[in-house]
Amino acid sequence: MLTVSLPGVKQPRPAREAGVKRQDHAGFTRPPWRVHAGFQQSGRMKLVAIAVLLAAAAPAFAESSTIELAPTCVEIDASLDQLLELERANARILLVRALERAEQLVVETGCTETVTLSHVRDAQTVIVRIKNSRTKRKLTVGLKEDMSEVYDRMVASLLEPVVEESPAEVEAPPLSTEELRRPVPHTMPNVDESPEDTKDLSDSSHWYVMLGFAGQVGGGQALIGGYRRNMGGMALDLGLAWLSTDRDDGNGATSVAVRGRLLRVSSPRSSTSFYWGAGFGLAAVNTDRMSFDTGDDGGGGAQFEVALGWELRRASALRWYIEGGYSKPLFDIGADSAPSAVTAALGVGF
C-alpha cells in the first residue's frame, strides 16, 4: 500500500481505526462490569459469614467470662473457740476483710455458703481452724502472729479447688522466716503465760479443792474436795464436804457428807463454762459441834444436793471454780429435821 504524506495532515493511528484493536493491548482491556458485581457479591457473603460466626460465639464467650459469687456468711464456732467475746468480734472482722480481699461476697443474711472460724490456744501457740461446706483448713501460729496475714493465707488455701480423694483436714504451709520477723499489730490480746492443756476439754478429768462459806442464816466455813470427770456436755462429780454453820441465835451444826452429783456443762469445749446439777450423798450432822454421836444432837442419813457454778481457765493446768450449793438432809435429828445449809466457795482444779 502506498502512503502519501501531505504537509499539515496527520496520519490516523492504527488504534484509532474504527473497530480495530491492537493485538498487543488486547490483554489489558478492562473486564466488563459484571466481573465487578461478582466480586462485590462475594465480599458481602464473607461479611455475612463472619457476622454469623461472631453471633454464635458471643454466648459461649459471655458464659466463659461470667464469675458466680456465692453469698457467704462468717461465723465463730462458740463451742470450740477459746477467745473472749471482744476477741471473737475482732477475729470475725479480720476474716471478713480477708474474704473480701479474695473477691468473695460476704453478707449477713441470705447466704448460701458459711465460713466457720475457731481458735484453740495454749501457752505458746494458737490453733486456727477455718472450714466451709467443701473443705477445712488448720494452721498453728504463735501468739504474737499477725492474724490478718494468717487469715489471708488460710482463705487462699480454703478457696483452692477441692480434691475429692483427700477430704481430710489440710495443714497450711508454715510461715517463712521473713514473715515471722515482721512487726505484728495487736490483733491478738495478751495471754497468760501459765502452761495450757490442749487436750479435748469435753473429755478430761481432774481433782479439785474448794474453800468458802457455809451457813443457815448466819455464817460458817466450808471445805470441799473431790474428783470430777467430764463426759461431753455432762460431768460426774464425786466429793467430800465438811460444813460448819452458825446461826444468829447461837445454834449451829457441823456436817460431813460423801456425795455424788451429775452436772450439766453449758460449753464443754470452751475455756470458760457455767455448770449446774444435783445429786445425793450420805451425811452425818451434829448440832453440838463437838462429836458425831447419834443422840438427840446428831444424826445421819441421805442428803439432797444442788449446785450452780462457773468454771474458768478450763484449758489451763490450774482451773478455777466459783460455786454455790444447797444441801438438804433427808433425816431428822430428834424431833426436828436436820438443818439444811447454803454454801458459796472458791476452788481450784488440777
Residue 15 has pLDDT above 50, yes or no: no
Strand order in the sheet with 113-121: 72-76, 113-121, 125-131, 136-142, 170-171
Residue 231 has pLDDT above 50, yes or no: yes
> What percent of the chain has pLDDT above 70?
65
- Which fold would CATH assign to domain 205-349? Porin (2.40.160)
pLDDT in the model for residue 317: 80
- Chain segment 84-117, per-residue pLDDT in tens: 888 899 999 999 999 999 989 999 988 999 999 9
Is 52 or 168 the better-scoring residue by pLDDT? 52
- Chain segment 232-261, per-residue pLDDT in tens: 889 999 999 988 877 655 567 888 999 999
pLDDT in the model for residue 177: 57
> What percent of the chain has pLDDT above 90?
30
Angstrom CA distances, 99 to 36, 94, 130, stand at 63, 9, 12
Cell of 160: 483452692
Is 109 or 182 the better-scoring residue by pLDDT? 109
Mean pLDDT throughout 134-151?
89
Cell of 182: 515482721
Class of domain 72-180: alpha beta
CATH 2.40.160.20 occupies which residues in the chain?
205-349
Q: How confident is the model at residue 213 (pLDDT cuts 50, 70, 90)?
A: confident
Paired with 284 in beta bridges are: 256, 300
pLDDT in the model for residue 47: 73
pLDDT in the model for residue 38: 53
CATH 3.30.160 occupies which residues in the chain?
72-180
Residue 199 has pLDDT above 50, yes or no: no
pLDDT in the model for residue 276: 93
For the chain, what is the mean pLDDT?
76
Q: Which of 66-70, 265-269, 285-289, 326-330 has the highest mean pLDDT?
A: 326-330
Element spanning 180, H or E: helix 177-180
Is 177 or 54 the better-scoring residue by pLDDT? 54
Residue 57 has pLDDT above 60, yes or no: yes
Alpha helices in 29-108 (DSSP H): 33-64, 85-101
pLDDT in the model for residue 224: 92
Element spanning 321, H or E: strand 319-329
Asked if residues 129 and 136 have their Cβ atoms less than 8 Å apart, the reply is: yes
pLDDT in the model for residue 115: 94
Is 26 or 126 the better-scoring residue by pLDDT? 126
Residue 25 has pLDDT above 60, yes or no: no
Paired with 240 in beta bridges are: 225, 258
